Amino acid sequence: MRRPMVAGNWKMHGTCASVAELIGGLKQQSLPADVDVAVFPSALHLAQAVSGFAGAVAVGAQNCAYEPQQGALTGEVAAIQLLDAGCSLVLVGHSERRLLLGESDELVVRKFAAAQSVGLTPVLCVGETLAQREAGETLAVVAEQVAAVIEALGVKVFANALVAYEPVWAIGTGLTASPEQAQQVHEAIRAQFARLDASLAGELRILYGGSVKAASAAELFGMPDIDGGLVGGASLNADDFGAICRAAGS
C-alpha cells in the first residue's frame, strides 16, 4: 500500500508574519496519521517552517542548485544547505521554472541528482501545456520528461523520489483535471516505470497537482494511481489545506 502525501507549494508567497500565521493555523488542524504532510515555503522561510513545525510536518524547498555542495554560485541554494536547514524534500522541474525560467530537462536532471546525492528526496514535477493537450501530446510529453531522468540516472533513483503530475493548464487557473483525465496520465506514468521495474512502480508515489481544492480532493485522491496532491493556492489557507490532507486519509 502506498502512503499518500499531501504537499503544499507556497510558491513566492509569504512574509515572516503571514508564514507564522499559516504555521500556527496548520498546527491547529487535525492532520490524518496515515498521510505524509509536507510544505514547500520560499527559501527565505524554510528555517521558520522547520522550527515552527518541529517535525510535525515535513519541510521541502521549491528548488535547489545544480551543484549539491557549497560553492561560488551567487543567488543559488545548495542541496547540502537545504539539508542543513532541516529540509527533507525538494521540488525539481516545476512547470513555472521550466516555462518561465527556462529550465531544461538537462538542468532538471542535474538538480534531481544533486538533491539525492545529499539525501534529499526529489519530487519530479511533470506536465503538459494546454496546446500540447489539445494536440494530443499529453502522454508523450509527460513520458519524455520522466524518461529524461530515467535515462540519465537510471530507474532505481525513483526508489527515493516522488513524481508530481501537474498539467500546466490546471495550475493556478481554477481548472482541475477531471479525476479520469488525471488517472489516465498517472496510470501511464506508472506503466512507464513498470516496464523497467515492476516492484518500484508499485511503490512509487505519484501526486496530482493543479487547482486541487478541498471540494475536488477526495475524488482525485480516490483514483487508483493518484497517491495524494501537490497543492498551490489552497495550501495558503490552513483550513483548506487541512481539509485536503484529511481527504487523502482513509
9 part of the interface to ligand PGA, by CB under 6 A: yes
The grid coordinates listed for 38 are 509536507
216 part of the interface to ligand PGA, by CB under 6 A: no
Q: Give the nearer residue to ligand PGA in terms of CB position, either 12 or 17.
A: 12
CB of 91 to ligand PGA, least distance (A): 8
Q: How far apart are CA 158 and CA 46, in angstroms?
A: 25
Q: Give the nearer residue to ligand PGA in terms of CB position, either 33 or 100.
A: 100
* Residues facing 92 on adjacent strands: 124
The grid coordinates listed for 236 are 495558503
Among 52, 60, 167, 209, interactor with ligand PGA by CB under 6 A: 209
Distances (CA, A) of 210 to 73, 178, 245: 32, 11, 15
- With beta carbons less than 8 A apart as the criterion, state whether 132 and 143 touch: no
**93: closest CA among 131, 141, 134?**
141
8 part of the interface to ligand PGA, by CB under 6 A: no
Per the residue annotation, which of 45, 103, 166, 186 is the catalytic one?
166
41 part of the interface to ligand PGA, by CB under 6 A: no
Q: Give the nearer residue to ligand PGA in terms of CB position, either 116 or 176.
A: 176
- Is 160 annotated in some ligand binding site? no
The H or E element spanning position 12 is none
Q: Is 203 a catalytic residue?
A: no
Q: How far apart are CA 177 and CA 13, in angstroms?
A: 24
Q: Is 103 a catalytic residue?
A: no
210 part of the interface to ligand PGA, by CB under 6 A: yes
Binding map of ligand PGA across residues 157-176, x = CB under 6 A, - = no contact: ---------x----xx----
- With beta carbons less than 8 A apart as the criterion, state whether 7 and 228 touch: yes
The grid coordinates listed for 156 are 532505481
CB of 209 to ligand PGA, least distance (A): 4
Q: Count residues binding ligand PGA (CB under 6 A).
A: 13
Cα atoms in the 13 Å half-sphere on the side-chain side of 138: 19
CB of 60 to ligand PGA, least distance (A): 12
The amino acid sitting at 136 is G
118 part of the interface to ligand PGA, by CB under 6 A: no
207 part of the interface to ligand PGA, by CB under 6 A: no
CB of 54 to ligand PGA, least distance (A): 25
Residue 224, classified by CB atoms within 10 Å of its CB into exposed (0-12), middle (13-18) or buried (19+), is exposed
Per the residue annotation, which of 45, 94, 96, 186 is the catalytic one?
94
226 part of the interface to ligand PGA, by CB under 6 A: no
Strands (E), the chain: 5-9, 36-40, 58-61, 89-92, 121-126, 162-165, 206-209, 228-231
Please give the residue ranges that form the binding site for ligand PGA (CB under 6 A).
Answer: 9, 166, 171-172, 209-212, 230-234
Output the known binding site for substrate.
Answer: 9-11, 172, 211, 232-233
Residues catalogued as catalytic = 94, 166
